[in-house]
Structure formats: C-alpha cells, structure tokens
Structure 1
Amino acid sequence: MPVRILPFLLVMLVCAPLVADEPKSPVPLIFDTDIGNDVDDVLALAMIHSLESRGECDLLGVTITKDSPAAAAFTDAVNTFYGRGDIPIGVCRSDVTPEAGKFLELANQKDNGQLRYPHDLASGKAAPDAVDLLRKILAAAEDQSVVIAQVGFSTNLANLLASPGDQHSPLSGKELVQQKVKLLSVMGGAFTQIPDHKGRYGEYNIIKDLPASRTLAEKWPTPIIWSGYEIGIALPYPHESIENDYGYVPHHPVSEAYYLYSPPPHDRPTWDLTSVLFAVRPDAGDFQLSEPGKVAINEEGHTIFTPQTGGRDRYLILPAGGKKRVIDTLIELSKRPPDASETE
C-alpha cells in the first residue's frame, strides 16, 4: 500500500533543511571602550574586526570613555589597519583618565616621514560627542537589535540615559535604549572572591567613574550580562601569541601596543575580550550564566548581585574545564589578519 504524505508535511520536509542552513545575521555592535588605559581593549578591538570579517558582527561605531584626544586617533589607526577606517568614533569630555598612556602615541609614529599606521582622525578633539553618536546609531537601528559591549567606564552610557530628544530621535535616551538595544555586555565588577584580596573588590572600570556606574546599574532598561574581574584573570592571553602570531606585517598595532604596555613574558588578563566574545556569540557555550538577578553598586564601588526571578542581570561563569577552549578562541580571533575576509 503506497504511503501518502500530506501536503503540509511535504512542505515541512522540503523547507526544513533550508531553514536550518539559513545563516545568522551579523550582530549590530557598538564598542564602548576606555582604550589606552589597558591593552586588552586593543585585543578586543582586533577580535571585533575578526568577527566582522567572519560575518558575525557589524561594528556600527566605537565610543570612548578615556578622555584623551589620542585615544580616538589610535582607535582610528587600528580600524584603518583592519580596512575599516570609516567606522565612526565618538568621545567623551569627562576629564577621566586624560593622560595618553603607554601606547596611544603609536597613532603618531612615523617612518620615513609617513604615518606608520595611516588614519585620518588626528585627534579626539575633531570627533563627535559620544552621546550624539550613540543616539544617531540607535535611532537608525532596527528595534531590539543592537548589542553594546561596554569595556570601559559607564560615562557614555549613563550620559546617554540622561539625554533628551534631539534631531536623531524625539525619544529620551532611556526610551531610545529600551526600544533599540537588545543586550548590554559589560566588563565590570567582581562577583566572586578575588584571590589575594580581602573582602569585596572595587573593580577599576566601576570605580573610575563611580557615579556613572551607579546610574547605569540603577537605570539601564535592557538585559545586562556582566563579565567580572574574576573572568579575565582566569583567562590570561599567552605572550607566545604576541611574539609569534602578529609578524605577518613589519608593524602591527596589537603587538606593538602590547609590548609598550607590558612586554612578554607577561600574560595579560583578557577582561575586555570576554565581554566582546559573549556579546557576539552568546549561544556559543563558552560561558555559563548565573541565575537572573539585580546588580547594585554601593558607595565603595562594590558590585552586589541579588538573585531575583526575572531579573535584568546575569554574570558570566567560566565552566569547569573550559579555560583552554576559551583562550584558544580568543587567540584565534585576535590574531586574524585584516585581509582574511572569507567566512570560515
């Protein structure tokens, strides 16, 4: 007796493989960074370019919370090195960490009278205000689509929340975030006991602009995933990669910045890289998540997590035995050459 296949089942059988093979759309990403205060921001930016070359994200803009004019110039130099010198860059004017730091002057380094790392944004003084850029990007985005990786201070995002309607959108900053942002991935705080430290730990990104950090924790309206201090120190970037993997060009901004900041054999913690990795690949299984809850920040800059059903916040947990896998992923993405544009 012949087997009858009902028409709707036939459609399902034919269409199912097509649906399963449909590629994911790139994650619309904003990178908010205090680049120049540490070199892990540079590695994280290199990762973003690698992920974009793989078709996994679309870097909509970079906003900077280090108030040094050299930070924007260096960021533009790195973006240009990776073939994306047109990515918009916004800056804050907060007077928080205004010093140039150890490696930002690479943007002005010249060889035979020519910039070692060509770029056209000479100084943050010529860059737009970060809040204006954030509002412009969000207003043009699809609803509930944008992911923000905040790996510096909360200055820009706290100011965004307080911003009024403008030429980009009649919505307030908080309303605009609620409408357009899907997820905020924050490198900040500490959610376990830190080795060799007594009591709660006041993490750098939180305490350097504490009022902004507290505003963000209190008022941000969309889900937040926190990558605590404990995650980055558990996943040091092997110095052997810096020594061996970036020599495909005579000068590389990532390795040169690393050497200027703290040269090998130093293995730098990967704080900012972990937030970027989760922001773009939340379903990859690299990390586990805490139960839902609410993060509050006290007057000393300590992050306090309270479990709460349906809570806005979760924090990253490194799975047992998962260290090598994550480090290998971070290396592979960070070292990828700028011309490797094929989807892998």
Structure 2
Amino acid sequence: MAPSSRSVIFDTDIGSDVDDALALAVLLGSPEVDLIGCTTVYGDTLLRARLAKRLAGLAGRALPVVAGAAETLSGRPVWWAGHEGRLFPDLGTEQVDEGDAVAYLVDRVTAAPGQVDVVAVGPLTDIAHAVTASPAFARDVRHLWIMGGRFDGPEPEHNFTCDAEAAAVVFGSGAPITVTGLEITTTVRMDAADVAAIAGAGPLGEALKAEIEQWWRFWNEEWNCPHDPITVLTMLVPDLFGFSPEGHVTIGPDGSSTFTPGDGRTRVTTSAPPDRVAQEIVRRIVAAAT
C-alpha cells in the first residue's frame, strides 16, 4: 500500500441497480484507493457478496467480501428487482469470505482509528448495526460517504426509505459524514457512448456492459444515473463538487431527509459538473477493467 493511499470499505446492495457495480469498478480503478474489503446489505446478501467477488475477480483482484444484514431495522420488506446475479448462472460456486459484516466493519475501523473510510451506497442497516455494536465505530471511522436522501424537497429516496430507522441511527451517531442525494446524482447520465467505452476494456468491462443493459431493459430506458459512483468521487475528487457547511440530517419515518446547517458533523453535496463527473467515472472504470 502506497503511503498516500486511502483505506476504504465498500458497503453495498450490489446486484439490483447497476450503479453499485459501477461504483465498485471506480474504486478498483482508483490507484489512490486501498480497497480493504466489501460488505453487502439488504435481502440476499450472500448472492450480493458472490456478485461483488466475481466482479472484483474479473478485474484481477482478490477482494475480501463479507455478507451482512439481510433484514432491515425498520422491518420494511426488501425490494427485489428479480435480476440480481442472473447474468452469472454459476454464481453459486463463488466463494465469499466467512464472518459477519458488522463485526468486520467494527474490527477494521476500530483497529485503525481515523484511517478507514466507509463508502455506504445501499440501505444503512450494516452501518447502523456497527454504530450500535460499538461506540468506538462512529468515533474511529475516518469518514462515512453515503449515497442517499433528497435535500431539495420532501420526496424520500430509496436507500433511506428502505430502512429509515437505520438511516436515523447513522445520522444521529456523530460520525463525520458526507451525503450525496438524488438532487445531485440525477443530473448525471451514462449513455450508449459511455457503455461502449466500458465494454471495450476486458472481461470486467464486458460484464459491466451486460449489467448496464440489463438495468436499462428493466426500466425500458437507454441511459442510467450513476448515483453510487458519484458518491465515490466525492471522496476521491472532492474538487469536482460543492459541499454545504457542516450541520445535521434528520430522517423522517418515511425516509425523507432534511439538512440543517450548524450543529453537527454532516455535510451535503450541493453541486457537480455532470459531463466532467461522467467522464471521470468512465475513465476510472476503464482503468479497473484493463
């Protein structure tokens, strides 16, 4: 690990929206990242872990992947698209790492106080369990980088709606947080030209192309918003973005999110140049795949 590298754990509900897979590829294609592990959350977390393991393997990487919480804290039923893992009929043969994702998160963060970033791009159940399992987790994590919420109106966002109770625990923990909401991520689109560039970059690129096109068929569209890769870039290329002053986020029972500047350690992403962000996502994915 280079002295300038950033130790990162990626917590994800990979397999439904293709943006989780793209975010994983961005992390794998970023030389400044030491991706020390991946944890999965929400629903069939073993299948999600196997998919993360397979995609990392296609990039030539041996990534530790640990399955996490399947059920939400709120008791809300899991939304399942139905196509998760379908493009890999032999996915059941993929061996994931033993252990519990919450213990993995707590152990790795508290063993290196102030040195491990956590990127959380799914429902926040794993992170909430880590917060409640160990008071040291929120104190010792270097930073939480979260995709979720919507901060330009009352409409709730999927990740927070799926487990509003978990989101409330995390945002009430006192951990340093940067959160990127839909009002930012929906300004960026990936289209056929981006997919063509990714597809030409080896086995991982081919797999990501198939995953993207599967997601497009699901929505009957020929573009997608890369919500999760944008969140990764707020950590890696912060100069691309604008951020609010620090404050706190309040989570409603329906998962709605409200930011109030002032008392707190949370900031919200407030601006992003769509074309430059899309180009940076593609560049790093191609780097991972070649």
Give matches, 1:333-344, under 5 Å.
333-339=284-290
Give matches, 1:294-305, under 5 Å.
294-305=248-259
Q: Which amino acid aligns with 2:83?
A: K
Question: Could you tell me which residue of structure 2 aligns to residue 259 of structure 1?
Answer: 213
| 1:128 Cα deviation from its structure 2 partner | 2.3
Q: Is 1:97–2:97 an aligned residue pair?
A: no
Paired residue secondary structure (1:47):
helix
What percentage of aligned pairs have identical amino acids? Answer: 26
Superposed CA offset, 1:319-342 (max 9, x none): 5xx222111111111222434xxx
Give matches, 1:300-311, under 5 Å.
300-308=254-262, 311=264
Question: Could you tell me which residue of structure 2 aligns to residue 132 of structure 1?
Answer: 103
Report how many aligned residue pairs link the two structures: 281
Distance 1:140 1:223 in 2: 18
The equivalent position to 1:217 in structure 2, one of 171, 182, 202, is 171
Give matches, 1:230-245, under 5 Å.
230-245=183-198
| 1:101 Cα deviation from its structure 2 partner | 3.0
Paired residue secondary structure (1:48):
helix
Distance 1:139 1:302 in 2: 30
Paired residue secondary structure (2:185):
helix
Give matches, 1:1-344, under 5 Å.
25-51=4-30, 54=31, 56-68=32-44, 69-94=46-71, 97=78, 99=80, 101-109=82-90, 119-121=94-96, 127-141=98-112, 143-163=113-133, 173-179=134-140, 181-193=141-153, 200-219=154-173, 221-249=174-202, 252-263=206-217, 266-282=222-238, 285-308=239-262, 311-319=264-272, 322-339=273-290
RMSD over aligned Cα, in angstroms?
A: 2.4
CA contact (8 A) 2:146 2:178 kept: yes
| 1:278 Cα deviation from its structure 2 partner | 1.4
Could you list the runs of 5+ residues in structure 2 that have no partner in the other structure?
A: none
Q: Which amino acid aligns with 2:60?
A: G
Distance 1:240 1:292 in 2: 37
CA contact (8 A) 1:155 1:213 kept: yes
Could you list the runs of 5+ residues in structure 1 that have no partner in the other structure?
A: 1-22, 110-114, 164-172, 194-199, 340-344
CA contact (8 A) 1:297 1:303 kept: yes
Change (3 A) 1:255 1:158: same
When normalised by structure 2's length, the TM-score is 0.88
Paired residue secondary structure (1:207):
helix
| 1:206 Cα deviation from its structure 2 partner | 0.2
Distance 2:266 2:109 in 1: 22
CA contact (8 A) 1:32 1:149 kept: yes
| 1:135 Cα deviation from its structure 2 partner | 2.0
Q: Which amino acid aligns with 1:101?
A: G
User: Which has the larger helix fraction?
Assistant: 2
Distance 2:167 2:158 in 1: 11
Superposed CA offset, 1:155-176 (max 9, x none): 001111111xxxxxxxxx1223
Change (3 A) 1:333 1:118: farther
When normalised by structure 1's length, the TM-score is 0.75
Superposed CA offset, 1:278-308 (max 9, x none): 12333xx110111221111112221111111
CA contact (8 A) 1:152 1:187 kept: yes
